[in-house]
Amino acid sequence: MNKIRLFLLLVVVGACTGLSAAAQSFALKTNLLYDATATVNAGIEIGLAPRLTLDISGNFNPWTWKDNMKWKHWMVQPELRLWTCDRFAGHFFAFHALAGQFNFGNIPNNIRMLGTEFSVLGNERYQGWAFGAGLGYGYALPIGRHWNLEFEVGAGAIYSIADGFECDVCNRPTATDVRKLRPAITKAAISIVYLF
């Protein structure tokens, strides 16, 4: 237990040494991980107090890929961030919510994560709604006077309501109104941030 306390103390002290962007009150950002999947995304972050900010991000992927592969979705994700020192620099802890709509299918894979079997997306399509919440941890690294590189990961739970379809036909239902609550990675971000 003492090692954990010492680690947390070093994290907080290290975060407050030499990093400051407290004079900034507003930021625009894009998540490079979403960009890598051709998902259009943008976020804004507003300073609420010296160590508190509100981040709101959204993303949209309307594309159907080769062989009718679908990863279509839109999502909005508001997040309240508590910074260990000054806002927009160093370590932060976050609470976020999310809501969106999806249409996923015909994605060959063998992925199993957090009790979810994603391989069913290889020959089925699911469309529906998702809602969730989670806790996050992140770090903002100033790389210029108005630029940051930001890293964040979050985990929580997602509740989804979906209909399933056969992918080769894609209009014959295999399941309707399937409701699931499951643990999930609720945020993963490597973002480029411009501060005002």
User: In this structure, is the dihedral angle defined by the CA atoms of residues 162, 167, 171 and 175, taken in order, positive or negative?
Assistant: negative
Contact (CB, 8 A) for 28 and 46: no
Q: What is the dihedral of CA 117, 120, 122, 127, to 10 degrees?
A: -110
Residue that is written with structure tokens 């260990």 in the block: 84
What are the domain boundaries of the chain?
A: 2-195
Structure tokens at 148: 């940051």
CA separation for the pair 1, 6 (Å, rounded)? 9
For residue 23, what pLDDT is reported? 63
What is the fold, at CATH topology level, of the domain defined by 2-195? Porin (2.40.160)
Mean pLDDT, contiguous 10-residue spans, the chain (196 residues): 58 53 83 96 97 98 85 96 96 98 86 75 87 98 96 98 80 86 96 97
Contact (CB, 8 A) for 166 and 124: yes
The residue type at 166: E
Beta bridge partners of 189: 152
For residue 8, what pLDDT is reported? 53
For residue 10, what pLDDT is reported? 47
Q: Phi and psi of 120, rounded to 5°?
A: -65, -20
For residue 123, what pLDDT is reported? 79
For residue 175, what pLDDT is reported? 85
